[in-house]
Structure 1
Amino acid sequence: MDELKVHVVTYNVGTWAPHHDLDMASLLPQKTVPDVVLLGFQEVNTSPTALVIENVLSALGEDEWTSRSRINLARKGYIKIRSIKLLGMVLSLFCLEKHVPYLRGVETQFTRLGLNGYWGNKGTVSVRFNLYGVSLCVLNSHLAAHDHQNQIRIESYDTVLGGHTFTNEATEAIMYHDYVFWLGDLNFRLQEDTFTFEQIDQKIRKKELKDLLAVDQLTQARVDGQAFSELDETPPDFPPTFKYKFGTDVYDSKRRPAWTDRILYKVNTANYDKIELKLKQDSYRSHPEVRNSDHKPVSSSFRVGIFTPETAAQMGIQTYHPIVKFHVDEVYVDEDNTLVYTVDTKNMRYLRYWDWIGVYRVDTHSLESHLAFQWAPSTPARDNAYELCFDENVFIRSGDYRLVYYSADSKDILGVSPPFHARVRDLEPEMGVEVTEEL
């Protein structure tokens, strides 16, 4: 099998705005380039002012953390594919541009979580997708806080598993996916009546983390089979990520330090006959240098097995390759333009009525806000070539654009054009009669 590099990050930002010099790309591995990046935030500011900025003033309707991430990751060649937000929880899927035409079945979901019968600001958001023949599901959770709410956190896990479903029958449930990554501020603490704040602080200074992990609520819940036992976690070798005094590396005595921010994973090795799926975790770390919140970000890098084209063909995995190929020549501003795409004849069966093509500006580095769209023509203009007719109101200013072909339900990306430039046509000087004034 081939490998796909997946990098996930969880960060409770404590309602704070990103510091002006924070580069979210610094949370990526420095020696390798992940193919796919997933960023999970909790406690994103949801004040009325923040929501006005996000929904009215923001060009792409993004919160400030997602916007900062998109801009920072764009310099590394990433495009934002999809985001989902539930109150202060946000999960965003990014991938390198070269992988975009291979994405299938992109779908988001959420589960609200209440406390003592009331809906609070907790819950889980997720995104699932297929890439190179394998399925991945990534969840971002913010569970109930405080030491004494451990049972609520355990019950929330079962609630998410039971109610969090997707439309693809083969991967309707979370745990049916080939690979599962579960991250977030899971809020598990150290067991009550064990260590005091002072004792925990001393053990952290002495790097006696194993003593603390022995009374970690999440570790115990997994051992007892109460919650998250279906997933794996490498024991953290970094200090507890909560609670810090803002802007410092000093723990706040208002709370006992704990590993609230976690990343767990699962691989269903036997999902396919005669092929064993594999996953390798390359890193699991916190980022103490980031002091933007009372939490520290946590990240993890993985390598997951994907099918080679040959294996996919042998197994009859559908829509493995891009189906639509765009052929874009000259595009002119403020004019009607006709663009062409072709479809390989053996893949015609994947086209549907109500497929559509979105127009995007390249400099947004996002597929969540199209400038315009066109329904895909139902019949070819000739052979396997289809024509798209865009009126003069689509390309209204010069710049670089791209086209994306979506399935009717918008879950599959069946083709992406290379970036192309729309320009003002060079006009020939008009021929006229020279007029002279006779004095």
Structure 2
Amino acid sequence: MIAIGLQEVNSKINKRLKDALFTDQWSELFMDVLSPFHFILVSTVRMQGVILLVFAKYYHLPFLQDIQTDCTRTGLGGYWGNKGGVSVRLSIFGHMVCFLNCHLPAHLEKAEQRKEDFATILHMQQFEGPVANGILDHDLVFWFGDLNFRIESLDICFVKYAIDSNVLSQLWEKDQLNIAKSTWPVLRGFQEGPLNFPPTFKFDVGTNKYDSSAKKRKPAWTDRILWKIKPPSKGLGTGGHRPSQGVLSVSQLCYCSHMEYTVSDHKPVAAIFAVQVSTVQGCWELVRYKMAAGFHRSSWDWIGLYRVGAWGLLGLEGVGSTAQHCGVPSELLPHQRTW
């Protein structure tokens, strides 16, 4: 799966009207790029200049359920969507997962405001269903975006010296988000890989040079990707439903920035995760179906099951010798069995 979070996308009136009348241009762009690799757009949500898109390989689609989106404005006291958070939540192989893309307040002195806005987003976003109503109720949360945390205390000369000398560890302990993870209860349990790449803000647009304007903003790791695994719960959850099936584990394989992009004053950040999903063995789904009114029965009617990738089974229904396989690629059909 691929989740893409964007911030400060052009949200002028003419752009928003075009996106409202036609397919969102960002969705079209990423679909054009990813569709040759068999990715399908699962869901997208936009709040002015903040966009979240979630893609998945086509063979995962039967196992993605309960897809919902939400957004929370925090700009101008909650009335403007230039700041805030957008989310996509869904069940992935029986585990509730939430992707949260945020754009939090800027400037060094606004750390407390960032904490308050993040707490507001967590409080305001509520989903329907018997399980995982709030963001932190999910089995796995990916939190990312322009979180705008800065480097405290150290002056700009020392920060640039540490970057040029590749001694980034000297900056980590003064990073506001690293400090907050050990002091803010709302961030308890969130994990992040080591910041082994240079601060991603602020650059002169079109270059790899840090801010040379009169303001000379101090470099900072404003663009971050974190995750949190919910501790396993015993017994049944709300409404008698089991919150998830089996064991869930996450390993971060890569965490990096991309200096080659110069169209923004930020450098984009990417992470690759391996998510291990273990489902309960011997657990079957009950499938019910009924004949359509006026359907003419035949001894050639059949229902088949075939394997989807290496994950499980998907039902097929056919009439006579023609399979109605809902667009499933033909290379999967040799796995079918007819009863």
Report the TM-score range of the alignment, normalised by the length of the smaller protein: 0.7 to 0.9
How far apart are residue 234 of structure 1 and its match?
1.6
Partner of 1:55: 20
Give distance in 1, aligned partners of 2:294 and 2:117: 51
- Secondary structure at the residue paired with 1:171? coil
Distance 1:197 1:348, change over 3 A: same
Partner of 1:71: 32
Partner of 2:206: 247
Deviations 1:276-321 (A, max 9, x none): 421111111111112221111111111112235xx2543x6x5xxx
Partner of 1:418: 328
Matches within 5 A, 1:124-203: 124-191=85-152, 194-203=153-162
Is contact 1:221-1:227 (8 Å) kept?
no
Is contact 2:140-2:228 (8 Å) kept?
yes
Greater relative contact order structure (CA < 8 Å, 6+ sep): 1
Paired amino acid for 2:188: S
1:224 corresponds to which of 177, 180, 183: 183
Give distance in 2, aligned partners of 1:246 and 1:264: 26
Matches within 5 A, 1:3-402: 36-56=1-21, 58=22, 61-63=23-25, 65-115=26-76, 119=80, 121-191=82-152, 194-253=153-212, 254-271=216-233, 275-308=246-279, 311=280, 313-314=282-283, 318=285, 346-348=286-288, 379=293, 381=295
Once the two structures are aligned, what percentage of the paired residues are identical? 35
- Secondary structure at the residue paired with 2:37? coil
**Number of aligned pairs?**
295
Deviations 1:216-245 (A, max 9, x none): 111111111254223111231111011111
Distance 1:107 1:199, change over 3 A: same
- Secondary structure at the residue paired with 2:179? helix
Is contact 1:41-1:91 (8 Å) kept?
yes
Distance 1:134 1:158, change over 3 A: same
Is contact 2:150-2:220 (8 Å) kept?
yes
Any stretches of 5+ residues in structure 2 without a counterpart? Answer: 236-244, 303-314, 316-324, 331-339
Deviations 1:179-208 (A, max 9, x none): 1100100111112xx122222111100112
How far apart are residue 157 of structure 1 and its match?
1.5
Is contact 1:40-1:140 (8 Å) kept?
yes
TM-score by length of 1: 0.62
How far apart are residue 52 of structure 1 and its match?
3.3
TM-score by length of 2: 0.79
Deviations 1:232-291 (A, max 9, x none): 112311110111111111101431111000000012241467944211111111111122
Give distance in 2, aligned partners of 1:381 and 1:50: 48
Distance 1:159 1:416, change over 3 A: farther
Is contact 2:49-2:81 (8 Å) kept?
no
Distance 1:120 1:167, change over 3 A: closer
Partner of 1:31: none
How far apart are residue 74 of structure 1 and its match?
1.3
How far apart are residue 69 of structure 1 and its match?
1.4
Is contact 1:112-1:122 (8 Å) kept?
yes
Give distance in 2, aligned partners of 1:282 and 1:202: 29
Give distance in 2, aligned partners of 1:416 and 1:105: 20
Give distance in 1, aligned partners of 2:77 and 2:162: 34
Deviations 1:149-198 (A, max 9, x none): 1111001111111111111221111122111100100111112xx12222
Query: Which of these two proteins has the greater Rg computed from alpha carbons?
Result: 1
Distance 1:275 1:82, change over 3 A: closer
Paired amino acid for 2:114: R
Give distance in 2, aligned partners of 1:51 and 1:153: 27
Paired amino acid for 2:111: N
Any stretches of 5+ residues in structure 1 without a counterpart? Answer: 1-35, 319-345, 352-376, 387-404, 406-414, 421-439
Give distance in 2, aligned partners of 1:221 and 1:199: 22
Is contact 1:135-1:177 (8 Å) kept?
yes
